[in-house]
Amino acid sequence: MKLALHGYGKMGKEVERLALERGWSICARIDLTQPPCTPEQCAQADAVIHFASANGMLDDLKYWGNLQKPLVIGTTGWYNSLSDVQSIQQQYNIGIVYAANFSLGVNLFYAILRTAGTLINRFHEYDVFIHEYHHKDKADSPSGTALSIGKLLLNTIERKKELLTETSHGKIHPHQLHITSTRGGTVIGTHIVTFDSFADTIEIMHAAKNRSGFALGALLAAEWIKDKKGLFTFEDIMNELF
Residues labelled as active-site residues: 134, 138
- Residues 164/179, Cβ–Cβ less than 8 Å: yes
Q: Which of 145, 22, 14 is nearest to 79 (CA)?
A: 145
Left (φ > 0), alpha (ψ -120 to 50) or beta: where does 196 sit? beta
Cα separation values, 237 from 1, 66, 192, 213, 240, Å: 18, 25, 24, 15, 5
Query: Measuring CA to CA, which residue among 23, 14, 11, 139 is closest to residue 73?
Result: 11
Tell me how far apart the alpha carbons of residues 148 and 152 are, in angstroms, rounded to a whole number. Answer: 6
Q: Which of 237, 179, 221, 226 is nearest to 45 (CA)?
A: 226
